Amino acid sequence: MSDQKRILLTGGAGFIGSHLAEALLRSHCDLAIIDSLDDFYSSDLKKRNLDEISEAGSYSFFQEDIRDVRALKRIFAETRPDAVIHLAAYAGVRPSILRPVSYEQVNIGGTINVLEQMRLFGVRHLVFASSSSIYGNCATVPFSEEEAQTHPISPYAATKLAGEMLVYTYTHLYDMSAVCLRFFTVYGPRQRPDLAIHKFVALMEAGEAIPVFGNGTTGRDYTYIDDIVAGVLAALSFQPSSSNGAAFDVFNLGNSNPVSLNTLISLLEDITGKVARRVLMPAQPGDVAMTWADIAKAVQLLGYRPSTEFRVGLERFVAWYRQNDCVNRARRKASDCSAKEPLHKSAARAFVG
């Protein structure tokens, strides 16, 4: 890792954030975490994540909203970070169609707030969590960072693309460097309950039917959490070269091996020993047909090499799920996190998954 030791991590209590926090602490960083513990899914799961982070080392925690400028200013003044890893966002394609204004306020407005505090406090390096969803139904596969025509088809995807453009703008205007990482369908222990792998396992373990949107041929480039964390740490140490007056770069972090929904379900049946009762449902607005990462750039410049075979990652997730009683208690809530339900009880807090 680079000489940046004081790290401010937004969204650190969530799925990706908690794993990353542990890795940062193991690397002897001075870590501060911002997370609002939003109730989109059980805050008890996020509190459990924080407890598990504590086993890796001590850190500062701030339960605050990235839309709260005064709170952010106080946190930056107290922690004086050398770098920021910005994960905090409203996540999910389908919920964003129901609550586009909330997504704009958090994912765009909240990102501006973070960038402004970086500018005011002289923080020079940012790693920004973007998404493969910004590519939309891209006609060229695998998806390359050089793809000029990005066509987001959900408010969530649009806010992530807007976030990338804001980050670029700040690196152009001010003495900052930034790396944007486009995550491709991250899975593994602690995955959000509303995401497909977690939701399917919860329903299959409970003997309930699973919803299958479309005909099951849609493909996702599933990427195991450990591989994603390794990519983020590499990006934290990476110094982008200045191009057009901006020290800025974008990388795909994926597995470059898309798996169909039907194949995923068959693998889960084999691993769990359960038969999935499938309920076929219409394809959902905002869902893309395929995600597939071209990772050549990340391999070359970041040394990124995903190494977790998909079945192995699924086996680790199922083992984790079965070992965690709190996850099993939360499984009924997982089936409620769908595009047909309100995003959460209150839009007043930001979260990351």
CA dist 80 → 7, 30, 40, 65, 83 (Å)? 9, 10, 30, 18, 9
∠ at Cα 162 (116, 69), nearest 5°?
Answer: 25
* Angle of CA points 11, 291, 106, to nearest 5°: 30
What is the C-alpha to C-alpha distance for residues 213 and 217, in angstroms, rounded to an integer?
10
Which structure tokens are listed for 289? 């047909």
* Chain centroid to CA 228: 9
Phi-psi group of 107: left, alpha or beta (phi > 0 → left; psi -120 to 50 → alpha; rest → beta) = alpha
Question: Is residue 177 within a helix (H) or strand (E), and if so which, with residue range?
Answer: strand 177-183
Nearest to 231 by CA among 293, 315, 163: 293
- Check if the beta carbon of residue 46 is closer than 8 Å to that of residue 37: yes
Tell me which residue of 183, 189, 230, 224 sits closest to 24, measured CA to CA.
Answer: 230
Active site residue 59: no
Q: Is 164 helix (H, G, I), strand (E, B) or coil?
A: helix
**Ordered DSSP codes for 270-320:** HHH-----EEEEPPPTT--SB--B--HHHHHHH-------HHHHHHHHHHH
Which of 157, 268, 140, 282 is closest to 211 using CA atoms? 282
Q: Which entry of 41, 59, 103, 156 is annotated as an active-site residue?
A: 156
Dihedral of the CA atoms 295, 145, 105, 63 (nearest 10)? 30
What DSSP state is assigned to residue 14?
S
H/E stretch holding 29 reads none
| Contact between 105 and 90 (Cβ < 8 Å) | no
Please list the active-site residues.
156
